[in-house]
Amino acid sequence: MNLSVDINADLGEGAAHDAELFELISSANIATGFHAGDSDTMHAAVCAAKEHGVAVGAHPSFFDRENFGRKELKIGNQDVFDAVAYQLGVFQAIASAVGVRPNHIKPHGALYNMAVRDQELADAIARAIESVDPTLILFAPDRSELARAGEAHGLKIAPEIFADRNYLNDGWLVPRTRPDALLHDPKEAAQRVLRMLREGKVRSVEGGDIDVRGETICVHGDTPGAVEFARELRTRLEGDGVRISALKSQP
């Protein structure tokens, strides 16, 4: 398979296996303090990424450490703009101090999932990115409101697919409140990702085939067995001739 694809993981969130994941991924989405992390963890994660040649991106969230940023909140769009701009600005400053240029941005948890469906929320996120650094790549599901908003504001979009999450018939992720939200078998996950890349299809939990497109593949850093998932995925992809490489942001 003559393909190149990015593998990303959410890091700097307090999980115990970040060091192992840095050896297996090509892009790191680093928590920016609102759902997890602080200036020290951001600095440490950026340094580790630099050591391993891994691209870095901000992973902004709702301000909700109690629920790890995974609870949907009703927040005004101006507040979302301010929160994303603030987190991105802090992350940019820390990365710059380490001599690393951020490459991308991926909203976290409920902020991401809501922006996939909510046009105004997605627009607030895209405007915040454009105001701070319009050269950043925005990770977003293909054909989502978040991807459309990013394109409308001139951002480069990396369509994202998920190795460790199940899908619904409408193309969105199964909510984490359901017991079937996560995949538990790394081999099954790797095989499913290969099909997504080869055929542009994934089987939903309802049993239907849905269209997907991905240039970056997410393995959640806090998923049980995250290292095994990432290792199996990388091994299977490289075994099929897929090159693992971070996407390049605009100059």
Q: What are the pLDDT digits (tens) for 168-181? A: 998 889 998 899 99
CATH numbers and ranges of domains, the chain = 3-244 (3.20.20.370)
pLDDT computed for residue 223 by the predictor: 79
Confidence band (pLDDT; 50, 70, 90) for 101?
Answer: very high
CA distance 1 to 171: 25
Could you give the percent of the chain with pLDDT greater than 70? Answer: 98
pLDDT exceeds 60 at position 44: yes
Per-residue confidence at 40, pLDDT binned at 50, 70, 90? Answer: very high
- Asked if residue 2 has pLDDT above 70, the reply is no
Helix or strand run (H / E) with residue 198: helix 186-199
The pLDDT value recorded for residue 232 is: 96
pLDDT score, position 49: 98
- Comparing C-alpha atoms, which of 49, 59, 65, 54 is closest to residue 29? 59
- How confident is residue 251, by pLDDT bands cut at 50, 70 and 90? low
pLDDT at 3: 86
- The stretch 11-35 carries a mean pLDDT of 96
CA distance 55 to 82: 25
Residue 197 pLDDT more than 80?
yes
Q: Which of 35, 174, 4, 26 is nearest to 12 (CA)?
A: 35
Higher pLDDT: 19 or 16? It is 19
Angstrom distance (rounded) from CA 108 to CA 25: 18
User: How high is the pLDDT of residue 1?
Assistant: 54
Band (224; pLDDT cuts 50, 70, 90):
confident
Q: For the chain, what percentages of helix, strand and coil (3-state, to nearest 5) are there?
A: 40, 20, 40
- The CA-CA-CA angle for residues 139, 20, 43, to 5°, reads 65
Calculate mean pLDDT across residues 139-155.
Answer: 97
